[in-house]
Amino acid sequence: MFRACQVMLFWSVAVMAAAASQAPAGPSGAESAADAAYTAHDWVRAGDLYASLVKQQPDSARLWFRLGVSERGAHQHAQALESFEKARKLGAGKGLPGFTVDYEVASTYASMGNSSEALKALKSSADGGFFQPDRLESDSVWDALRKDEQFISLVKQVKHNAAPCEDPEFRQFDFWVGDWDVTSTGDSIQRGTSHISREMGGCVIWENWTSAGSPYFGKSYNTYNVNLHRWEQYWVDNSAGTIFFYGNLKDGVMDYWTDDVPQPNGEKLRRHLQFFNLSQDTVRQFRQGSTDGGNTWNVEYDLTYHRHDAKGTRAQ
């Protein structure tokens, strides 16, 4: 028994040692101290600690970046610019966005009173995708430039980076947003319900369709493609169906089309999907299909969406 206990004890210690050797190393005591000083904005102490750390870890973009911030905070501007450039080179493609470094470089030049270089670096940051307008509004280094036309323009650009889908084009399909009872247009028979919402910061109009008296349901994702200057919809459902539409708002109608898509029977099917904004509480969805390249069309469905009111009943 004693021998068995010894073996078990040895095995447990060995497993613990192996696990410890495979565990990722945490920050060193010096790095933790540097991070604490950084968080407390004790820039002189943080700068001294990070300066020692980069000698030990010269390939760490994070340490060079934090050294630059600390040096700027301690008004060591020339050293800060050098540290940021090292951070840029080391962090390229490794998780440190160039626009983040550009912003810190811009802030350093602004702190130095070099407005032209500050605005140049800020433009590079904004063009690269910098998306923190709160930094521009709160960082005191920009106080001297707040009435400068170029600075004001760059603030607008950064705000747009933060919320690109607030552009008017992204609001064109808002008339479809809401909770709806859906009926056949011709006979008013209930066909289903649909919940349509603006998601992902307004970048996506998300449809959630549920059929009446059937297990069939589906979803569509609608967004404005800023590169192709058009709306696009991707439909998916629980019967493995997928359809890709594209189009634009035309004369108040969301006008979607597909390409000629091969079908299981060998034909090619082109679809035309339209959304008519009839009123605040009524939308008509109409879809046709053509198997002869658009010469003739067959109605696939014609639906009317009736908006729910606040009590969850159909609006009349």
List all residues 6 or more positions away from 176 whose beta carbon is below 8 Å from its beta carbon: 196, 205, 207, 254, 275, 277, 283, 305
Domain that holds residue 249: 169-307
Model pLDDT, residue 28: 78
- What's the pTM? 0.75
In this structure, are 125 and 215 located in the same domain? Answer: no
Going by pLDDT thresholds of 50, 70 and 90, the confidence category of residue 27 is low
Domain membership flag for residue 84: yes
Q: What is the mean pLDDT of the chain?
A: 91
Reduced to 3 states (helix: H, G, I; strand: E, B; else coil), residue 242 is strand
Q: Is the pLDDT of residue 11 over 70?
A: no
Helix (H/G/I), strand (E/B), else coil: 66: helix
Residues 276 and 181 in one domain: yes
CA dist 152 and 83 (Å) reads 28
Does some domain include residue 87?
Answer: yes
158-209: pLDDT as tens digits = 999 999 999 999 999 999 999 999 999 999 999 999 999 999 999 999 999 9
CATH number of the structural domain spanning residue 159: 1.25.40.10
Query: Residue 297 above 60 pLDDT?
Result: yes
Task: Give the CATH number for residue 214.
Answer: 2.40.128.20
Least confident of 10-14, 108-112, 208-212, 293-297: 10-14
Closest by Cα among 228, 233, 213 to 275 = 233
